[in-house]
Structure 1
Amino acid sequence: MRALVTGATGMVGINLIEALARGSEFQTVALVRPTSDISALPREGVELRHGDMAEAQTLADVCEGIDVVFHCAALVSDWGMREEMIRVNVKGLEALLGSAVKHGVKRFVLVSSMAVLGNRPQVNVDESAPYVVTGDNYNFTKMEAEKLALRWQRERGLATVIVRPPYIYGPHDRQFFPRLITAIEREKFIYLGRGDNPISLCYVGNLVDALMRAARSERAAGRLYHITDGPPVTRRQLVQFLSDELGLLRPQKRLPIGLAKVLMHAMETKARLTGATEAPLLNRFRVKFLHTPLSFSIRRAQEELGYGPAFTFQEGMERTLAWFKANR
């Protein structure tokens, strides 16, 4: 079978392509822009195909000869960029779905996000939870993307599977965990509240395993799956683990959550009034990551996909930090 991977030069895409290239089940096709840095992709066993999720007209025939699409591409931001996000996350997806139907793709696996469930506290939430509109552009475009995929399944017969991870970490992450580590290194990290609220995370190796299972399983067509590392950790456990493994001082500073939310609203209001293009220091996205209880059930994936997870939080973190130290 031939598998097309979008977002091929991002963290999820690179790790997925590496896994596909190690096996013999799939011939791998990576969707890249002509200007993409492809240095991290395997040099053998991977075909390059040009297309741009921001330019729908370039996607009409990218699925020619493809059996399975792994759609890992998305534009992520916690501030602004509404039109760009709609162009990539919604209109680009619609063009890709059209190409998949046109060329007879057998399975379309969409990487979505727990962001569609909003910013409220979430404890062991399963796939029956409704969408929650937050007003931020990432939340909106990921909801629209899921609705699109489900509509094409229902109306056009395209066998789609939606996989929702929470915060993803792992080798080739150059945004999420590097920023957290930098804050710890510079002694600028501050807990919001006590740091004892749970958060579900997802090591990229676990997500890759789930994506491949979703592509293989006949039962998965038309289904939605939450994928995490299993048991959640607290923010304090996460930060202390990183600090200890890197030989850094454990952060001790705390900001009461009530005060943090007051500051968040003030900073967001000022940023909007001034037309700021950069996210304020505190916004809803960051308060959610640093404080809100966020844990999710993976029971459906365990029962229907035989999902593990293969790596524990500690194993995933150790692999991530080994890569981080070697690639700083």
Structure 2
Amino acid sequence: MDIEHAPLRVLVTGATGFVGSALVRALENQPGYLPISVVRSKVKSPVANTQTFCIPDISSSTEWEGCLKGVAVIVHAAARVHVMKEVVADALSEFRRVNVEGTVNLARQAAQAGVKRFVFISSIKVNGEETEPGRPFTADDIPTPSDPYGISKKEAEEALLALSGETGMEVVIIRPTLIYGPSVKANFRKMMTWLKKGVPLPFGAINNRRSLVSLENLVSLILVCVTHHNAAGQIFLVSDGVDLSTTELLNRTAEALGVKSRLVPVPEQMLIFFAVALGRRALSQRLCKSLQVDISKTQTLLGWNSPVSVQDALNRTAKDFLEYR
């Protein structure tokens, strides 16, 4: 694929999201790239000089023609994301409407418009929810998703690879682990809030191993996948390259926040028992079970290594939290 000549027009969906906004900023600062933002509502562009299109809904009927003129690469970061408390009756159908049907519709129109490469931001949930310690997921494992979000991402991946074979448009799939970084929300932000307040937490004796990826490291890999010839047709797992236990993560984050962690060494099995009794099985799984990924394929095929260390990434995340909480 000859897409190495500047300027590359790179369309980013989900451009005001956690990953998309960081990617647009990175592309804007990279010589030879012309990022184009797709957002859900008429808000200020994530980068002042970026051309922006408003697409309120992504589905099988969304019209993309106006966005695709001259675009060489699409990074599809928009999705219906995993939610803790589902409010729709048929969650899988809704995930499929956006994440499968909407994605395939965009990709098919992209191929017809002459887009050369489609980079799909998927999820490690395609692989599954947990691993045995020391037996990480690999990019070539048979997928075993267990929730509607993971299932929809798996089906989207399969449809994109089939479409690539049909049309010749190159597809690259990236499955991130838990993403953290400046402006992180959800459970990671709650964790920092608890630590900063000095709340005693019963997580002082958890010996699991979890792979995480900082936002900067994920964006670094996406940028590589935009142009690298070895990326075409491949699935890549991504992490910081260092696996931490929940206890280690809390201690390191507390250090980054400049506070002393107050972790109580409650046995894992007791934590799991009480979490299940309270209807929080999924939360106990994330806190106590392992989820490791093997990124050797990513490193070997692309020559990529995470540019930011775990502690530096945690320091930057904590600094942002302290400034804007």
Query: Which residue of 2, 7, 13 maps to 1:6?
Result: 13
Q: Normalising to structure 2: TM-score of the pair?
A: 0.88
User: Secondary structure of 2:61's match?
Assistant: helix
2:73 is matched with which residue: 55, 68, 71?
Answer: 68
Post-superposition CA distance 1:127-151 (Å, at most 9, x none): 12111132x2212111112112211
Instruction: Note if 1:109 corresponds to 2:119.
Output: yes
The corresponding residue for 1:308 is: 305
CA shift in 2, pair 1:208/1:221, >3 Å: same
Q: How many residues align?
A: 309
Give the Cα separation in 2 of the matches to 1:262 and 1:235: 17
Aligned partner (choices 58, 63, 72) of residue 62 of structure 2: 58
Kindly indicate whether residue 324 of structure 2 is the aligned counterpart of residue 319 of structure 1. Answer: no
Q: 1:47 aligns with which of 51, 54, 65?
A: 51
Provide the TM-score with structure 1 as the length reference: 0.87
1:242-264 CA-to-partner distances (Å, cap 9, x unmatched) read: 12222334132355443444445
Say if 2:253 and 2:315, in contact at 8 Å, map to a contact too. Answer: no
Equivalence map 1:77-96=2 (5 Å):
77-80=83-86, 81=88, 82=91, 83-96=93-106
SS in 2 for 1:28: strand
Q: Distance in 1 between matches of 2:15 and 2:70?
A: 18
Structure 2: stretches of 5+ with no match in the other structure: 1-7
Q: CA deviation at 1:55?
A: 4.2
Query: Is contact 2:257–2:319 with CA below 8 Å preserved after alignment?
Result: no
Report whether the alignment pairs 1:38 with 2:49: no
Identity %: 28
Residues 280-327 of structure 1, C-alpha deviations (whole Å, 9 max, x = no match): xx132x223211112111111111111111011011111212222222
Alpha-carbon separation, structure 1, partners of 2:59 and 2:149: 19
RMSD: 2.1
After TM superposition, which residue ranges in structure 1, 4 or more long, deviate above 6 angstroms? none
Alignment of 1:15-30 (within 5 A): 15-30=22-37
In the other structure, the counterpart of 1:127 is: 139
What SS does the aligned partner of 1:8 have? Answer: coil
Name the residue aligned to 1:272: none
Alpha carbons 1:199, 1:235 under 8 Å: kept: yes
Q: In the aligned structure 1, how far is the partner of 2:256 from the partner of 2:272? A: 31
Matched letter for residue 52 of structure 2: L
Distance 1:110 1:188, change over 3 A: farther
Deviation at 1:168, TM superposition (A): 0.5
- Aligned AA (1:154): G
1:205 aligns with 2:178: no
SS of 2:62 mapped into structure 1? helix
Matched residue, 1:279: none
**Residue of structure 2 aligned with 1:228, choices 239, 254, 271:** 239
* Structure 2 residue aligned with 1:140: 151
The 1-side partners of 2:208 and 2:195 are apart by 19
Distance 1:115 1:173 in 2: 19
